[in-house]
Amino acid sequence: MSGRATVPTRPPERARARELQRAAAELFFTKGYEATTLREIARALGIKSASIYYHWDSKETILFDLIRSTMEQLTAGARSVLEREPAADRRLAGIVVHHVVLHALRPKEATLGDTELRSLTRAHARAAMRMRDEYESLLLGVLEDGARRDLFDVLDVKLTAYAVISQCTNVGIWYRPDGRLSLDEVAAVHANLALRTAGGRELAASAMTPLVADAKAFHEAWR
Amino acid sequence: MSGRATVPTRPPERARARELQRAAAELFFTKGYEATTLREIARALGIKSASIYYHWDSKETILFDLIRSTMEQLTAGARSVLEREPAADRRLAGIVVHHVVLHALRPKEATLGDTELRSLTRAHARAAMRMRDEYESLLLGVLEDGARRDLFDVLDVKLTAYAVISQCTNVGIWYRPDGRLSLDEVAAVHANLALRTAGGRELAASAMTPLVADAKAFHEAWR
DNA sequence: ACGCACCTATCTATCGTCCGATAGGTAACT
DNA sequence: AGTTACCTATCGGACGATAGATAGGTGCGT
């Protein structure tokens, strides 16, 4: 045998580290990053705070890894829509549906990217902002394309993008699985709200259903 | 002289306490409440942290008073619109303009009511949520009224209200006085975005101008 | 089959630092 | 004399992080 060390039994994917991260996400979401202590995170799994350092280098690393991975998931969802849908109106609807579905399925993780960037170290914050700008530019591209082809009547491209993103992100704060509306309904309504915001025509329910089904499958299967 | 103590010379309105509060708002907005220390707040005014306790009972009181007063200002703005405008579409536009103007003029103070409620004590948090619900119900009333009179074509009243509020609140995060668009433009665009969201017809610039002027005067004159 | 090396996942104990808050004093102004 | 607005000094506690120990498991050479 030559070369690098073998990885024989397929390592456990850091399962315990992920459990800790999930508990941390829950606490970061409800109490805020700064107000959450390592002792609380440890207590959620029944271990001592010092044991966290076997799995993670620092408290901030737990947060950054959460933010990075959900931002990657968000961008990957949008890209998958762009690959499959050529028309700007269906692209906008698809991106919105993905955004809403992710924030509804994983609110605790997904919301951190919008509320806790300021708690990151400078380098990590810059990396997160780059990812956010990249996602934003995908949406801006769709709006510009739709306006150029007269599918949309956009008041202002940037303001429209900000408005759409903020109302979709907001879903993560109030959505409950046992609430008045199903996830399918919430996602479909927001897609049509976004189309209204962009000055486009709403999609029929028959066009919306596959978009929502796709987004749910995409984000449930992630990782 | 009988009865309660006199208030003769019109007291100094706690000017120094307000200065401290303004410095605190700046830091709470950029770093977050938990990450901000009393020593930093004091340093901003060139005094020692212990001196803060001459003006304020606790760190949390500074925050709650900020949240309470801006929420009162927000609700008062909306009520002043309802008193002056009878039509639902102009009411919606007026409320949105007020919301946007307040968040653009005082972003540091106004944003705290949406991001730092979780840092309040239970009693204060409940009080803040009551005020938020009261404001929300004003907007819900306008949307329902407009839908009943066929001025609006609302997809879902609650989701529409949440969407409108979130996109207006979001302005406080990115708006800059020296940015691409003037405050008048930003406010007018958001009013029309809200009308689109509610399924109503946009207002002409001539109808928008006095609404914006009124909101600016209202919030600049506050206190 | 046994023994040694190493890994995993936790523990106890503790470090230096910083936090919000309090007590008591003081200079300047009214 | 009283009030205002600060100061110095300090408290108890909690924080993130580190050091070092340990029990149990895995794998491999002999």
Cβ distance A160 to B193 under 8 Å? Answer: yes
* A3 is near strand C: CB distance < 7 Å: no
pLDDT of residue A15: 86
Tell me the mean pLDDT in the region B168-172.
98
pLDDT of residue B222: 82
d(CA B135, CA B78): 8
Phi–psi pair at B151, nearest 5 degrees: -85, -25
**Distance from B171 to chain A by nearest Cα, in Å?**
9
Structure tokens at B129: 């949520």
Asked if the Cβ–Cβ distance from A163 to B193 is below 8 Å, we say yes
pLDDT of residue B7: 29
Q: Per-residue pLDDT tens for B100-149? A: 999 999 999 999 999 999 999 999 999 999 999 999 999 999 999 999 99
* B36 is near strand C: CB distance < 7 Å: yes
Q: Per-residue pLDDT tens for A20-32? A: 999 999 999 999 9
Q: Is the pLDDT of residue B12 over 70?
A: no
Q: Per-residue pLDDT tens for B60-100? A: 999 999 999 999 999 999 999 999 999 999 999 999 999 99
Pick the closest to residue B212 from B99, B109, B106 (CA basis): B99
Size of interface A-B (CB pairs under 8 A): 73
Residues 6+ apart with CB under 8 A from A195: A89, A92, A93, A201, A202, A203
Asked if the Cβ–Cβ distance from B118 to A31 is below 8 Å, we say yes
Tell me the mean pLDDT in the region B34-47.
96
Instruction: Give the amino acid at A177.
Output: P
Q: Which residues of B touch A199 (CB under 8 A)?
A: 196
Measured CB to CB, residues of chain B less than 8 Å from chain A are 30-32, 34-35, 115, 118-119, 155-156, 158-160, 162-163, 166-167, 169-170, 174, 180-181, 186, 189-190, 192-193, 196-197, 199
Asked if the Cβ–Cβ distance from A193 to B32 is below 8 Å, we say no
- For residue A18, the surrounding DSSP H or E stretch is helix A15-31
pLDDT lower than 70: segments of chain A: 1-13
Q: Is the pLDDT of residue B182 over 80?
A: yes
Phi–psi pair at A10, nearest 5 degrees: 55, 100
**pLDDT band for position B189 (cuts 50, 70, 90):** very high
Shortest CA distance from B189: residue in chain A: A155
* A6 is near strand D: CB distance < 7 Å: no
pLDDT of residue A13: 66
Structure tokens at A17: 């580290």
pLDDT of residue B14: 86
Arithmetic mean of pLDDT over chain B: 93
Pick the closest to residue B139 from B219, B46, B53, B77 (CA basis): B77
Angle of helix B88-105 versus helix B59-84 axis, rounded to 10? 150
- For residue A126, the surrounding DSSP H or E stretch is helix A122-148
Shortest CA distance from B160: residue in chain A: A193
Say which of A118, A159, A170 has its CB closest to residue B189.
Answer: A159
Alpha helices in chain B (DSSP H): 15-31, 38-45, 52-55, 59-84, 88-105, 107-115, 122-148, 157-169, 171-174, 183-197, 205-221
d(CA A66, CA A152): 35
Say which of A119, A155, A180 has its CB closest to residue B193.
Answer: A155
Say which of A119, A162, A196 has its CB closest to residue B170.
Answer: A162
**pLDDT band for position B223 (cuts 50, 70, 90):** confident
